[in-house]
Amino acid sequence: MQKSVLGSTGLEVTRLGMGLAEIGELRLADSSELSQLLNAALDAGINFLDTAACYGISEEMIGRTIPHRRSEYILATKCGHVPGSYPGEAWSAQTITDSIDRSLILMKTDYLDLVQLHSCGLGILEKGEATDALKRAKEAGKTRFVGYSGDNDDALWAVNSGLFDTLQTSFNLVDQHARTKLFGIAKAREMGIIIKRPIANGVWGAEHNPSSYEQEYFQRARLMAQSGTIHGAPNDRIMLALGFVLAHIEVDTAIVGTRNLGHLRANSLMVDSGNYLSPDAVGELVRRFEELGEGWVQLY
């Protein structure tokens, strides 16, 4: 599978990564299904796994199912939120330290490749307690690199701060502001760029809103689609969305979450082929977004 170097980290990541938020919603009783899915991802060549302390059982499932294959994957997690019954305060140094230590135990590994602050706001970033705790974890060898996951002005501050090795941010065919506001400066600072929500939660071409949470994306997609057919675009709406994101060379990896083996394999085959979206189709989607989306912010 095609790979990219994740900024100045030197880590070679597959351009298709696996997001584990959906897996975290399942139960421990589903461990055989989850084992099949995670092993299938690795067998398909995917080497970037993205999870978080607050993604339910996802970290525990990694530790239960694939620790014997640790050399085959780059492991990224997130910290800052208060998961489960943990009694601490969100974004405190103690919470972040405890979260990282717990992640190491749950995933049965003695190091993490990347730990990211999980979408905290400007006030938390400027205070410095959270970033200092992350820096200490890196100095202690608990994580090789540190990153920020977030959007809009928070992400811009994180990029300009020089404190982070990577940026994870929202980018897709109906949420394109990262392309003009973040990619250039992040690359100038040699940050790795990780894309969340690359298929826009499946709203493009959907007859009905997939969920109430995605109402904003769904409305944007309907407005952009009113201009008619996109010439040169694939018939598969998921391949269209993913192809648009991966056609941007600034993107090092795009994380897609799924519990469907068929979807996982289809996504992998598309990325394996290297056939993304044609320049004309990319240009048309950019044109439509710029015409309609000046006031559309990145969604968290």
pLDDT at 292 over 70: yes
Question: Which tens digits make up the pLDDT trace of 197-221?
Answer: 999 988 898 887 766 667 899 999 9
Measure the CA–CA gap between 124 and 90, rounded to whole angstroms: 10
In order of their start, the domains of the chain are 3-292 (3.20.20.100)
Structure token pair of residue 107: 């995933």
Dihedral of CA 32/257/159/93: which sign?
negative
Pick the residue with more confidence: 136 or 201?
A: 136
- Cα angle vertex 145, ends 58, 92, to 5°? 70
Question: Which tens digits make up the pLDDT trace of 55-113?
Answer: 888 999 999 999 999 999 999 999 999 988 888 899 999 999 999 999 999 999 999 99
Question: Which tens digits make up the pLDDT trace of 157-181?
Answer: 999 999 999 999 999 999 999 999 9
User: What is the 3-state secondary structure of 44-112?
Assistant: CCCCEEECCCCCCCHHHHHHHHCHHHHHHCEEEEEECCCCCCCCCCCCCHHHHHHHHHHHHHHCCCCCE
Measure the CA–CA gap between 59 and 55, rounded to whole angstroms: 8
Nearest alpha-carbon partner for 298 in 163, 225, 289: 289
Measure the CA–CA gap between 165 and 167, rounded to whole angstroms: 7
Measure the CA–CA gap between 148 and 51, rounded to whole angstroms: 13
pLDDT at 27 over 80: no
Measure the CA–CA gap between 110 and 101, rounded to whole angstroms: 10
